[in-house]
Structure 1
Amino acid sequence: MSTRETSIETAAAAALVDPAKGQEWLQRYSDALLGVFGTPQRVLVRGAGCLVWDADGKQYLDLLGGIAVNALGHAHPFVTSVISSQLATLGHVSNFFTSPTQVALAEKLLSLAGAPAGSKVFFANSGTEAVEAAFKLARRNSAPSHDGKPRTRILALEGGFHGRTMGALALTSKQAYRAPFEPLPGGVEHLPFNDLQALEAALDETVAAVVLEPIQGEAGVRPLSMSYLQKARELTSKAGALLILDEVQTGVGRTGRWFAHQASGITPDAMTLAKGLGGGFPIGALVTFGSEVSALLTPGQHGTTFGGNPVATAAALATVHALEAGAVLRNADDVGSFLRGALAEVDAVEDVRGEGLLIGFDLDGDYSAEAVKEALERGFIINAPAPRTLRLAPPLVLTRAEAQTFLDALPGILDTARYTHEQNTAAQPPEDSA
């Protein structure tokens, strides 16, 4: 073994067997990594199921799942064994070639989606990359309308989040994300959320595509109504526009169905996937429905070096198999319903939203950030997508008993968070009225 290999192995062992204190690792993080994520909340070194442990040995119930990624929890034995076996067999070949796992995963996704003949899959490495592929697909739907008007507009929604690369960012509505990098790719318009009248007014034959999340995760878990999705399908079909559904966060069982849009009974023209697809291993996908849409991107018009590699597709196949074999989607629906019902009974909770194990709930004040910190202190990982909103996206294998430990602790978490917020607010100097 080389000196370099020995040093890497030593560093890994140090993190797992004899970890330095968390603060030391955080200082090294600050010295070595670009600060785009701010300061990490903890240094995590190990996981098992729905639990993780930090560098100081403290245990946490992971109710965020790597932001809806760890569908089967941490260190799932079947998935890890498949990844290890595949990597020991064939790791990377580039897309000059294919592999059995790539083909089999594409076939499986088309089957789960109930996709018609002629449907296809493009594999990427992340949700953002899948959305970039979808953006290019939309641009290819550019044939002029019957009266000769150019088809150049793309419609998305206020509150939507589709990623941070330039094309995906153009679809994302949050100005704080967009402003530092403008000008972004043009032609994208953002419509009010769940507003059918606005959609009808905007959607004509100059629109190339409408891009929607069935449930807006980053906006606080806001579901589009079934009627909105159905009307969007009707209007896009009439206008010759593509209906592209971003299921990066909602897909692969997160809502108790394989894909969230299936509850509405519609079939999109394209769908993006990632997050839970690989069970923690990076992989994304664009699914195109039908031969006409699938023919829009032709050889040489898009590509990726790593996308669809044997290890990533093996990880995804193993994840899907484990989700099916363990009736995990049924568990997500059951435990999600249990959690939502119990959360609605908490005094400080004003509204609960979501499907399956993608849940958002609003508080009676702007103290969600303090609630995240207090929950962490008490051994629970949650997320605050907005000042008065908390989000849960735990592994789909979460049990009722595990969920109950959080529910038992939540009133105390919120009481302390509210008090901390009030104290911090009172300590702030008044704004200069001048």
Structure 2
Amino acid sequence: MSSIFPTYARWDVTVQKAEGAILIDTNEKEYLDFTSGIGVCNLGHNHPVVHQKVKEQLDQVWHVSNLFHIPTQEQAAQMLTEHSCGDYVFFCNSGAEGNEGAIKLARKYTGKWKIISFKQSFHGRTFGSMSATGQEKIHEGYGPLLPQFEYAVFNDIGSVKSLIDDKVAAVMIEVIQGEGGVHPADPQFMAELQQLCIDHDLLLIVDEVQTGIGRTGKAFAYEHYNLSPDIIVSAKGLGNGFPIGAVIGKEKLKEAFGPGSHGSTYGGNPLATAAACAVMSQVFQPEFLQEVELKGNYFKKLLNEKLTSSNFVKEIKGKGLMIGIECDGEVGTLITKMREKGFLALSAGPTVIRLLPPLTVTNEQLEQAATVLAEVL
């Protein structure tokens, strides 16, 4: 009998080893993994460059606290600012912590307290990030939420305008809603949203926890929309499995996060930032990102060819290797059948199959995945 709180509906699989896009369980059954640890292992499992970098750091020092200068932290911050529109970085341990930091930074800088986020968004499960999340199922059972969040309708600029008043500090958005169903933002909507933030002197916060670090074929997904956010939140793929999150902010925000204003005991830990440096050294190469985009286009083409004959499939959507298959009914039993066939996928809400393969996935593995999906659907 387990002594762990039953907060997860666990699969009947125990992984004993993993390499690239392949998992092997304790019964020696092999799985093609298109979950990547829920969008975390963007370079696949046990990537040699990440492995070597972490091992080197482990042999030196793995924790000293942020009272000390940490070389891998400085290096990781520089890599993040070089490949984004931000200038400064605060390191934490997860996407939820990153979004908490972004909320604090926006309120501290502006002196205002309201944040506009979106229905069907997902920003985490801490109390602040849960309150920012526009899904009732995430809120259920926890009593009154923090009152400073109001939810606009995704891709509806009029609904955003209706919520703006003199107490609003920022607008917080995923440019592709992940947990909410793999919904990409409309380019016209994003252009209008950015201009609205400029006109009303609001900060634009982009949650890139799932979409960032190459997942969509860009370093960050906001680049598809020619945005220049004030705050970007990164996590998941940043450490390829090592817990790390980052709040990336523009120059003007520096003084709002001065000494004592925010902190994290483990944030920017030498092991985690060593992993992040190794990840970014691979993912942020232009050739690598271009290959992700090509693979994503190829995979969507395969899926359209193989699945359009199914009346159950309504739409195939997403960018790069973040793909959702919108279905005409619930997909839970289908995901179980795929797992029985040795193929691992996720849901994003009750009717969407979510596919997040490692960015290092091969075309042959994409073809294998499309075949299994076609058989099950």
* Cross-structure match for 1:379: 342
Q: 1:38 to 1:364 in 2, by over 3 A?
A: closer
Deviations along 1:264-303, whole A, 9 cap, x unmatched? 111101010000001111110000012x222222211110
| d(CA) in 2 for partners of 1:289, 1:229 | 19
* Cross-structure match for 1:338: 298
Q: Is the 8 A contact 1:207 1:239 kept in 2?
A: no
* Cross-structure match for 2:92: 124
SS in structure 2 of the partner of residue 180 of structure 1: coil
Q: 1:288 to 1:325 in 2, by over 3 A?
A: closer
Q: After the TM superposition, which of the residue ranges 321-330 and 237-246 deviates more from structure 2? A: 321-330
| Offset at residue 325 of structure 1 (A) | 5.2
* Cross-structure match for 1:9: none
| Offset at residue 96 of structure 1 (A) | 0.5
Q: CA RMSD in A?
A: 1.4
Q: Is the 8 A contact 1:141 1:242 kept in 2?
A: no
SS in structure 1 of the partner of residue 115 of structure 2: strand
* Cross-structure match for 2:102: 134
| Offset at residue 328 of structure 1 (A) | 2.6
Deviations along 1:190-222, whole A, 9 cap, x unmatched? 111110111122224321110000100001100
Larger Rg: 1
Q: 1:352 to 1:397 in 2, by over 3 A?
A: same
Residue among 362, 381, 384 paired with 2:326: 362
* Cross-structure match for 2:37: 66
1:165 aligned onto 2:126: yes
| d(CA) in 1 for partners of 2:328, 2:151 | 29
The runs of 5 or more residues in structure 1 that have no matched partner are: 1-29, 144-150, 415-434
Q: TM-score, structure 2 length as denominator?
A: 0.96
* Cross-structure match for 2:282: 322
SS in structure 1 of the partner of residue 80 of structure 2: helix
Runs of 4+ with deviation above 6 angstroms = none
* Cross-structure match for 2:355: 392
* Cross-structure match for 2:14: 43
* Cross-structure match for 1:417: none
Report the AA paired with residue 319 of structure 1: V
Q: After the TM superposition, which of the residue ranges 195-204 and 54-63 deviates more from structure 2? A: 195-204
* Cross-structure match for 1:207: 168
| Offset at residue 72 of structure 1 (A) | 0.6
| Offset at residue 34 of structure 1 (A) | 1.2
The structure with the largest helix share of the pair is 1
The runs of 5 or more residues in structure 2 that have no matched partner are: none
Q: 1:114 to 1:236 in 2, by over 3 A?
A: closer
* Cross-structure match for 2:80: 109
Residue among 90, 96, 103 paired with 2:61: 90
Residues 257-296 of structure 1: pairs in structure 2 closer than 5 A = 257-290=218-251, 292-296=252-256
| Offset at residue 326 of structure 1 (A) | 8.7
Residue among 293, 297, 314 paired with 1:350: 314
* Bigger relative contact order (CA 8 A; separation at least 6): 2
Q: Is the 8 A contact 2:98 2:246 kept in 1?
A: yes
SS in structure 2 of the partner of residue 354 of structure 1: strand
| d(CA) in 2 for partners of 1:213, 1:45 | 34
SS in structure 2 of the partner of residue 35 of structure 1: coil
Q: TM-score, structure 1 length as denominator?
A: 0.83
* Cross-structure match for 2:367: 404
SS in structure 2 of the partner of residue 386 of structure 1: coil
